Amino acid sequence: MKMDKKRIVVTGGAGFIGSHLCERLLEQGNDVVCVDNLFTGRKDNIRHLMDNPYFEFMRHDIIEPYYVEVDQIYNLACPASPIHYQYDPIKTGKTSVMGALHSLGLAKRCHARVLQASTSEVYGDPEIHPQPEEYRGCVNPIGTRSCYDEGKRMAETLFFDYHRQHGVDIKVIRIFNTYGPRMAVNDGRVVSNFIVQALTGEDITIYGDGSQTRSFCYVDDLVEGMIRMMNSRDDFTGPVNLGNPGEFTMLGLAELVIRMTGSQSKIVYRELPQDDPKQRKPVIDLAKTELDWEPTVALEQGLEKTIAYFRERLAL
């Protein structure tokens, strides 16, 4: 996609998805400012971009306001893995809510377009399967996942209130489980955990009985969808689901990772965390119609690239 040069902020740009997004936006000829406090992100994720004169890194915590002159804002800053967002749940809530307010405030002042990286977690432990955007969700407001789920739900509310009250140009995407190179070794989410465990010969930890399902999207597909959404027609705000509708059980994923890595690791079962969703799969009809987008990378293909990345990271 060829576009005019834009000044773009990516909050959370040193994280897993954010670093891929910064890279792609630079490739398209934009001027990119990455705002990140490096809580779960790493300078190593963006080191290869540091020499680019159109890339700037700003170490900043988005619970405080930030001031830059921009055309577009992608708001991704927020820990995304349960172990990291539960480490300091009050801070997670602040990051979602204050981060949304500050990104919206900046968009209002600069007349910029602002995109919120929301999540399939707004559907909670869904009673409707697969999940379309109209589904309002089944979220526990007082559980251990609530800091993230309710924080992201409040952020969506703020986005739509700024849009209705101040005419801010908003875009909201709901991202389903995304994986790929640059996930942190200690990220704690299932794909990176299983791969790291398989490559190092440790036990593969399945939480619960492994019958719960998730749909996994390769990061390149997701980034393509995000950019299409940001540049979609003026009156399309979303929310729009972005994810890969292929659905897998966690036991199935463990077996696939063991086979693909040729690992001797054995599967062990651990307690299922509180409010862990039993099933998840996106309806992506809206993304197909509005953005002409659908994922192109099958799970095995994406896992191959992710396994190669972790082999190198772990120097195996």
**Which member of 18, 82, 93, 126 binds ligand UDP (CB under 6 A)?**
82
Which residue lies nearer to ligand UDP by CB, 102 or 214?
214
State in angstroms the smallest separation of the CB of 83 from ligand UDP: 8
Binding span for ligand UDP by CB under 6 A among 69-77, 165-173, 201-209, 294-302: 201-209
Which residue lies nearer to ligand NAD by CB, 167 or 246?
246
Active-site amino acid positions: 148
Q: Per CB under 6 A, which of residues 235..294 are in contact with ligand UDP?
A: 250, 273, 276
DSSP 202: P
Binding span for ligand UDP by CB under 6 A among 57-65, 69-77, 205-213, 297-305: 205-213
Contact set with ligand NAD (CB under 6 A): 11-12, 14-18, 36-41, 61-63, 76-80, 95, 117, 119, 175, 177-178
Whether omega for the bond prior to residue 130 falls within 30 degrees of 0, making it cis, is yes
- The helix (H) or strand (E) run that includes residue 178 is strand 178-179
Burial of 234 (0-12, 13-18, 19+ CB in 10 A): exposed
Residue 86 near ligand UDP by CB under 6 A: no
Residue 206 to residues 183, 249, 269, 286, Cα–Cα distance (Å): 19, 10, 5, 33
Please list, in sequence order, all residues whose beta carbon lies within 8 angstroms of the beta carbon of residue 278, skipping any fewer than 6 positions away. 125, 211, 212, 213
Candidates 182, 222, 227; CA nearest to 30 is 227
Give the separation between CA 204 and CA 189, rounded to whole angstroms.
12
249, interface contact from ligand UDP, ligand NAD, none, CB < 5-8 Å by kind: none
Binding span for ligand UDP by CB under 6 A among 70-78, 97-105, 207-215, 305-313: 207-215
**Which member of 190, 196, 227, 291 binds ligand UDP (CB under 6 A)?**
190
Spacing of C-alpha 127 from chain mean position: 23
Q: Per CB under 6 A, which of residues 148..167 are in contact with ligand UDP?
A: none
Is 36 in a helix, a strand, or coil? strand
State in angstroms the smallest separation of the CB of 63 from ligand NAD: 5
Kindly tell me the sign of the dihedral angle through the C-alpha atoms of 297, 298, 301, 304.
Answer: positive
State in angstroms the smallest separation of the CB of 308 from ligand NAD: 19
Structure tokens at 303: 């896992």
Which residue lies nearer to ligand NAD by CB, 17 or 70?
17
Count of CB atoms situated within 10 Å of the CB of 278: 13
**Which member of 137, 207, 231, 255 binds ligand UDP (CB under 6 A)?**
207
Give the separation between CA 10 and CA 72, rounded to whole angstroms.
9
Count of CB atoms situated within 10 Å of the CB of 223: 21
Binding span for ligand UDP by CB under 6 A among 8-16, 64-72, 189-197, 282-290: 189-197
Please report, as ranges, the residues that interact with ligand UDP according to CB under 6 A: 81-82, 177, 189-190, 193, 205-207, 212, 214, 250, 273, 276
